[in-house]
Amino acid sequence: MSDQRSTVDDASGSIEVKEADQDMEMKESASTAPTDAENRASEEGEKDVFQGKIQKKQYQAFSGFVADVAQICHNAQVYNRPSAPVFAAAVRLRDIFSEKLQQLAAKGDISSDDAKLPDLGELPPVEDSVSLQYQNDDEEDEEDADKGDDGEDDEEDDYSSDDADRQRSRKGRRVRGQQTPSGRKERDDDVDDEMHKKRGRPPTVPTPMEARITSILRGLRKFKDKEGNLLILPFEKLPDKVAMADYYQTITNPIALDNIKKKAKRKKYRNVDDLQKDIELMFDNARLYNEDGSAVYLAATELQRQSRSLAEQEKARPDDDFRDEDGKLPLGEIQHDGRIWKVGDWIHIRNPNDLAKPIVAQIFRTWQDGAGQKWVNACWYYRPEQTVHRYEKHFFEHEVVKTGQYRDHQVSEIVERCFVMFVTRFNKGRPRGLPSASEVYVCESRYNEEKFRFNKIKTWASCVPDEVRDRDYEMDLFDAPRRMRKIPSPIKHLLREDAKETDELPRPTWGSPNAPPIVGAVHRRPLEPNVSEQEVRMFGDLGILVRDRLFYKTGTRALQVKFKANLSDPTGIASTRTDAAAVNANTSGGIVGCCRKVFGLTHEPDGCR
């Protein structure tokens, strides 16, 4: 191989890794790294500095020139992310420069001291900790969650209970047994809040195997060359496919540390040996492509030896070393009564308030306590009758809503498997392999228990555990998509006869402290300022009724009809579909009937007179 080939790969430095989180990385990079224009300007400025100093003979010694080049490379690494092209170019330049200096020293053109690059200190730590990435994912999800229809965060159900406590404290407290104006007794808020306080999403805690993998990846960042440079830097990213096309002709299975970390984050490694296979491959590739004795070749040889040592150390550690301060030992899965439970599984949990209605939940964590008892932490999904909502609200059949309740349960409380599908897939088929007797639910919204508000879910991935976000499930499709219909609230009959729009929001009726409400409540309070789902009704395939407006679907157009007079029967409306524009222009005459009759509404929409 030529020297050029060897030195070019010494930086092994930048490639687009087409993963699901690439956009996030690009956004972060864009906010912290210089723009291309800034980088070009910086490069031109540095070039001018060199030329100016040389022309003006400002270098009193060759070591001054060496120091300037080293400083430029160091600055580029300090102020750019390892994934940035500038960072890779700086590593490449430093390696080439170092080798050229050694060649000059070998020829006797410069002294051995002049051939040494100055020690400019360590680079800032790179956020490569797998456990840190686990931790940050939930935070990013909270920050980047889609906005609900009311403009509030789509993750609103998970906001801190401290905020909720402050909100409740402003409203004042009622004493147990105090009669309200309606004559009904209310529970003591303090007791309810303490017993049924919302538990937020649990922190991600790596299992012993995941912790071992993290430790090995961290350990690889501890080794440096005699000049203080991290040996692992050339292996952070794969080389650019365009700039170094010959690399991919030589290396059939390319892999870099970045790929390994992403696989670790997504739980792709079953054990340390699986991880070690990829690490060995990464260093074998480097030794195959680079010349014997080159900087990258030597770094690969040393790191390969050290990684084997780290792997043996981690494999020798007992699992008990990884218990947390509470004595919990994270588990990858739980075996109980011949069944295996893992993070991401949808389950029915025994409901002490109503054994006929088990709690619908998804497993987020699995662990074993100090006494050997096995537990799961699961996110609860409420049934419509367990929520507080307006009496006219309609729900899909088999609908559940996501809550902010993440509760601990002994594995013995798990009853059976079930499944929850996002609304966009529910009518298309059924999860493959799920027993026919297992319940399948549909979910469209999050439920905020503090404000008794429903927010449409726009990103289903933000609702499920990190470990299963990139795993799609196979489906047995129906012959044709099934029609989904909404039905009235199952607790509509609980509305008090004297209920008024000015009433305070009712409270659910609680029972067991580790179970959803025994029953929710309904009210007649005004609709939210923004259009909410209880205002929206489908009318066959004609369009959507929103309050007193019908939005007709006419091909790619949606024409709005304002009902200024009573409506005709369904047949009459259907006949206007071919001439929606005319209907839109003349909505006040010739249309007779009743909104309530035509659309099956329980009340007269505004504007329907």
Kindly report the CA angle at 409 between 405 and 413, in degrees rounded to 5?
A: 125
Q: What is the pLDDT of residue 314?
A: 94
Closest CA to 438 of 510, 561, 326, 346: 346
Two structure tokens written together for 200: 């937020």
Q: What is the pLDDT of residue 345?
A: 97
- 485: amino acid identity, one letter: R
pLDDT band at 248 (very low <50, low <70, confident <90, very high): very high
Burial of 14 (0-12, 13-18, 19+ CB in 10 A): buried
Burial of 355 (0-12, 13-18, 19+ CB in 10 A): exposed
| 363 has a pLDDT exceeding 90 | yes
Two structure tokens written together for 590: 């010739």
Closest CA to 548 of 598, 476, 481: 598
63 Cβ contact partners less than 8 Å away, ≥ 6 residues apart: 113, 114
pLDDT band at 555 (very low <50, low <70, confident <90, very high): very low
Q: Phi then psi for 411, rounded to 5 degrees?
A: -60, -25
**112-151 confidence digits (pLDDT tens):** 888 888 877 777 655 443 333 333 333 333 334 434 333 3
DSSP state of 318: -
Orientation of helix 257-265 relative to helix 208-219, angle to 10°: 160
Half-sphere exposure of 227 (CA within 13 A, CB side): 16
| 592 has a pLDDT exceeding 50 | no
Q: What is the pLDDT of residue 195?
A: 54
Check residues 178 and 368 and name the one with the higher pLDDT: 368
CA-based torsion, 117, 120, 122, 123: positive or negative: negative
Two structure tokens written together for 139: 């935070």
Check residues 44 and 56 and name the one with the higher pLDDT: 56
Per the DSSP assignment, residues forming a β-bridge with 544 are: 538, 551
Q: What share of the chain is helix, strand, coil (3-state, %, to 5)?
A: 40, 20, 45
Two structure tokens written together for 313: 């150390």
- 53, 120, 82, 233: CA torsion to nearest 10: 120
* Residue 293 region by backbone torsions, left for phi larger than 0, else alpha for psi between -120 and 50, else beta: left
- 449: amino acid identity, one letter: E
Helix (H, G, I), strand (E, B) or coil at 400: strand
**Contact at 8 Å (CB) between 329 and 374?**
no
Check residues 495 and 466 and name the one with the higher pLDDT: 495
Domains and CATH numbers, the chain: 3-131+207-316 (1.20.920.10), 327-523 (2.30.30.490), 540-599 (no CATH)
Q: What is the pLDDT of residue 105?
A: 86
Residue 326 to residues 342, 367, 369, 424, 439, Cα–Cα distance (Å): 21, 11, 8, 41, 35
Two structure tokens written together for 338: 């011949």
| 560 has a pLDDT exceeding 60 | no
Residue 243 to residues 6, 13, 77, 375, Cα–Cα distance (Å): 14, 11, 20, 52
Kindly report the CA angle at 601 between 569 and 425, in degrees rounded to 5?
A: 100
Place of tokens 């789902």: 533
Q: What is the pLDDT of residue 119?
A: 79
Burial of 300 (0-12, 13-18, 19+ CB in 10 A): buried
Name the average pLDDT for the chain: 74
Closest CA to 7 of 73, 83, 92, 107: 92
Kindly report the CA angle at 73 between 67 and 79, in degrees rounded to 5?
A: 125
Quickly list H helices, 256-294: 257-265, 272-289
Closest CA to 266 of 465, 15, 458, 473: 465
Burial of 387 (0-12, 13-18, 19+ CB in 10 A): buried
pLDDT band at 588 (very low <50, low <70, confident <90, very high): very low
**Contact at 8 Å (CB) between 482 and 427?**
yes
Q: What is the pLDDT of residue 198?
A: 59
Helix (H, G, I), strand (E, B) or coil at 12: coil
User: What span, in angstroms and rounded, lies between the C-alpha atoms of 65 and 296?
Assistant: 25
Q: What is the pLDDT of residue 92?
A: 84
**198-216 confidence digits (pLDDT tens):** 567 776 777 889 899 999 9
The length of the chain is 609
- 160: amino acid identity, one letter: S
- 384, 387, 390, 392: CA torsion to nearest 10: 10
Helix (H, G, I), strand (E, B) or coil at 110: coil
- 375, 418, 404, 177: CA torsion to nearest 10: -90
Check residues 449 and 14 and name the one with the higher pLDDT: 449
457 Cβ contact partners less than 8 Å away, ≥ 6 residues apart: 146, 154, 402, 422, 423, 443, 444, 445, 446, 463
441 Cβ contact partners less than 8 Å away, ≥ 6 residues apart: 360, 381, 398, 399, 400, 418, 419, 420, 421
Q: What is the pLDDT of residue 46?
A: 55
Q: What is the pLDDT of residue 124?
A: 66
Closest CA to 76 of 48, 34, 15: 34
User: What span, in angstroms and rounded, lies between the C-alpha atoms of 587 and 576?
Assistant: 11
**Contact at 8 Å (CB) between 584 and 597?**
no
